[in-house]
Structure formats: C-alpha cells, structure tokens
Amino acid sequence: DAEITQSPRHKITETGRQVTLACHQTWNHNNMFWYRQDLGHGLRLIHYSYGVQDTNKGEVSDGYSVSRSNTEDLPLTLESAASSQTSVYFCATSGTSGGNTGELFFGEGSRLTVL
C-alpha cells in the first residue's frame, strides 16, 4: 500500500540548532505539504510543493525551508530552531488526477521539542 513516512517521529533539540524533518511518500503524488499543529490553532500551512524543483511559502513559513529534488521527498528544515517552533509537524500529499477535489493524505506526524 502507498504511504507517507515521516522521520524522526520524536525529536528534542536545543535553541539555535538546525533540524531537518524528513517526509517520504510512495503515492507518486505531485503535491506535497508541510503543516504544523498547535493547540487552539488547528493545522497551519508552512510550505508546499507542486512538483520537482517547485516550492512555495505557506501561512507560517518564517524560519523554515524546503527543497524538492524528486517526487518522493520533501524535507523540512528549521535553520535555527526556536522554542516557538515546538510543535507537531505533519507532511501531507495530494494527487492531481481527474476528480481529485483537494483531499490530503497525511503522515503520522513528527513531534519536535525545542529547549
């Protein structure tokens, strides 16, 4: 079965360190997204990509970057981690085949704690 794999599932880091969260999908979807989930805010879009070499900023992109070198992977990098970036991060994908109405498929999340 197709799936989305996020790693690590749990990470604790220190303020100022660079952190990369991995997302690997076997759906062969063109569209990939990174969301963060915080209590009281629901999910907020960080970055997204519609294909190889394409990246776009979302609602809360400051302090984050992504790169898309192939269809399967969209790593999320925190250049200099801050305590405000403590959150649960979800990778999601969607296809562009006919009939798709925007349904997203989610990974299981990566819980990041910045001390």
Partner 1 sequence: GDSVTQMEGPVTLSEEAFLTINCTYTATGYPSLFWYVQYPGEGLQLLLKATKADDKGSNKGFEATYRKETTSFHLEKGSVQVSDSAVYFCALTWGSGNTGKLIFGQGTTLQVKP
Using the contact rule CB under 8 A, the part of the chain among 11-19, 20-28, 74-82, 85-93 near partner 1 is 85-93
Shortest separation between residue 7's beta carbon and partner 1, angstroms: 14
Binding mask 42-81 toward partner 1 (x if CB under 8 A, else -) reads xxxx--x-x-------x-----------------------
Name the pairing type of β-strands 31-38 and 87-94.
antiparallel
Name the pairing type of β-strands 110-114 and 10-13.
parallel
Per CB under 8 A, does 3 bind partner 1? no
114 with 11: CB under 8 angstroms?
Answer: no
23 with 107: CB under 8 angstroms?
Answer: yes
Per CB under 8 A, does 96 bind partner 1? yes
